[in-house]
Structure 1
Amino acid sequence: MKNNLSLKVISFFALLFIMAGNAKLVYAEIQDGSIARVKLRKEVRALLHEEKFSELENMANKFRTEKTRFPDGGWKVHSFHAAFASHYYGWDELLGNLDKWMKMYPNSVTAKVAAGRAWVEYAWAARGGGYANTVKEEGWKLFEERTAKAYELVKNPPEDLSKDCVERYYVLLIIARAQGWDKHKYEALFKKAVSYEPSYYAYYLEKAYDLLPRWHGEKGDWQKFADEAVKLTPKSEGMGIYALILLKAWDLKEFTEFREPDISWQKMRQGFIDIERNYPNSPYMLNFFCRLACIASDKETAIELFKRIGDEPYTEAWQGRSNFYKWQKWAGMSE
């Protein structure tokens, strides 16, 4: 009897040892950040290519009703619809299959929003990404026709408002930017969007983008909005949206130094802390936070984060393992 008990105790601790040994491996394999988003978009595109419309409906309904998130807090329904901004199989197939989907599910808000997203991208394909004075007359004509088509698809909510989609408002916002809506009309739409779902990050990120000088903003507008956005999101989000807006602007090279007068690293730092509090299982966010702390010369914060990361970085967040080692050495965390 004693021997059996001893064996059970030994087996229990052996299991704990094995689990501890595998913990870093499992942690490193979590699909997070852009890796997770790319994977989901590929799955969605494949389902559309195979005309599996019922599976697309079920997937979107689940993401929408359950407000499903990625480990870093990003909404899966947003990445679901981002799949339709890609013409991986060609524009004819993409738009043709979306038409088939809408005919099979005529009351589906998901199908209409997906088609609206695709038509916006199709409009930009006609215009091109150059300055306005470089766009030919035919390009402008197609751009206007296609954005108008997108608007018709998403302008009205479904009869059953409980089945409306958060992404419908996002598509309307990107149409508003493309069509150059006046400030009052744009603000009315934005207020509707955030009142429908105040924690949908995409609304705030799109408005911040619209406020860049390259679009419809003046110098300093997007920075002011980053502060305003914090007041519009739920209190539980803390400074999270401030961090995400600055992260987008930094990625777009709107600023390169955290010492710029209208950029607050302390607010951004608090934003990452708040995001981590709400979404504690994101290796991508932990590693990206550490990387930005290094770039911002916040060695104290970086050291604490390096301690948590250990020797197994989430490489995607560092843009390569060599960057991780470089900053780890800078922080005095390696020989």
Structure 2
Amino acid sequence: MDTPQNTALMRALAEVPGPLPTSGVVHITLPHTERFTVVGNHLAQNAALSTTAVGFAVRIQSLPQGTEVGIKALAARFPEGEKLIAAALRELEAHGYLHRTRVRLPNGRMVTRTVFCNHPEALLCPRPAEASKPGPALAPAPVSAQAPAPVTAPIAAPALVTAPAPVPAHVPAPAPVTPHAPLPAPEAPETPAPPPVTDRPVPAEPLPPAPPAPRLVPPPTAPKAPPRPLPQPRELTPGLQQAAVALLSDLRRHAPELVLSEADIERLAPATATWLERDAHPDTIRQALTTDLPQPVKYPAKFVRHRLTVLLPPPLPGTEELAPARPRTVVIPLQTCEGCERAFRSRTPSLCRDCRTACEQPAA
């Protein structure tokens, strides 16, 4: 009498079809009408994923479009810590459920775009072509096959209907009718098949299969483009080398996430020296490397290498390139007159004006 009884649960168990198992879980499945999310068994029963990763996959899938799903946003929404959430997101990213890419907005700001796919294996399978849509156009085919019947009947009708008209219904068919019966047979092949085609629309030819739609999210196995080569200065002087090493070593004071090892600094020093060689101020380089950092920075050396390569400024133009273009002055060379040895300007050797005039007067 002291043990509380859940009558609703007992009534639901009584409605479960079939005998109940003696051990194990018993499912009471009630249909959802609102606030529900469909989760595939490929995720719910994935033995390669931890329970935490599966739980966060379900949570992310149930959130509306446009909700922030970063590590800090999920930590503020759920009781798990940031390290546990980061590990779960890495698992989902490794199995293709989660895709995180860095994109640049039109204003130059870098943001992280997160895409969640509820069935990544379906992306690897070719999507069925939409060639089945022209199928309904072929539906009149069986109707057109039956169309010759009403067309051929009027051809044989005049011979059969006029003869038996005076014969009573109870009298058997007369003998003259039998010879006329095979007459329509040779006429049947003469009836061409196109007449029913003229009365009915021609079945549309099947269209070629449409090309598969482009994938919005690349599959996890898609090949990646090779990285750009690291910039190299024209001449790596000791002064440039020392300034580049000092700038890279000082990054952790301004951004604690950018802690570089000695090997990384030695490898990235030529690219930093290229910036200095192109008259970039150290503060400008430091701001380009530490502004708008992703959270978290998983690989600091790769991140610094990417920004040193992609954001490399062009060389400063010289004074000659900045000077306005002057109009070109055409200079006509000096020529010596063949008649009076006087100098005059002309593009080709000839006589001067006075000598040409003197030569033209006698001719007039």
TM-score, structure 1 normalization: 0.19
Larger Rg: 1 or 2? 2
Question: As a proportion of its length, which structure holds more strand?
Answer: 2
TM-score, structure 2 normalization: 0.18
Question: As a proportion of its length, which structure holds more helix?
Answer: 1
